[in-house]
């Protein structure tokens, strides 16, 4: 869940509001705020009021996940489809 919050902030240009994180994760604002405070305590983001911005550590965490996903897709040659109607179906390319 924490990595998803970091990815949302990343997609917002590295800075976002707690409200945007809450909305995109389908969480209450209070729960999203607690999640962001936890990330701030671990030095993944800086918080100022309701604004949060990725730190170097947070940027590195998101970048590692993106590289990992990209590498996995390149090496497996398998495309997994996510939509519910396609759940469990795998197509090779």
Residue 61 lies in a domain: yes
Query: pLDDT tens, 33-71?
Result: 999 999 999 999 999 999 999 999 999 999 988 787 766
Distance between CA atoms of 52 and 55, rounded to whole angstroms? 9
Distance between CA atoms of 24 and 18, rounded to whole angstroms? 10
pTM exceeding the 0.75 threshold for the entire prediction:
no
Residue 29 lies in a domain: yes
Indicate whether 24 pLDDT > 80. Answer: yes
> Cα–chain-centroid distance for residue 65?
9
Per the structure, the complete domain to which residue 43 belongs is given by: 2-68
Q: Which of 24-38, 59-73, 78-92 has the lowest mean pLDDT?
A: 78-92
pLDDT at 86: 44
Would strands 15-17 and 78-80 be described as parallel, antiparallel, or unpaired? unpaired
The count of structural domains within the chain is: 1
Residue 73 lies in a domain: no
Report the CATH number at residue 58. Answer: 1.10.10.10
Distance between CA atoms of 32 and 47, rounded to whole angstroms? 13
């Amino acid at each position: 869940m924490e990595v998803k919050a970091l990815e949302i902030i990343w997609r917002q240009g590295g800075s976002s509001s707690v409200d945007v994180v809450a909305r995109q994760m389908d969480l209450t604002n209070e729960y999203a705020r607690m999640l962001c405070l936890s990330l701030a305590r671990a030095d993944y983001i800086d918080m100022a009021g309701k604004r949060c911005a990725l730190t170097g550590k947070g940027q590195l965490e998101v970048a590692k996940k993106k590289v990992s996903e990209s590498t996995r897709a390149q090496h497996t040659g398998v495309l997994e489809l996510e939509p519910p109607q396609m759940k469990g179906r795998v197509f090779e390319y």
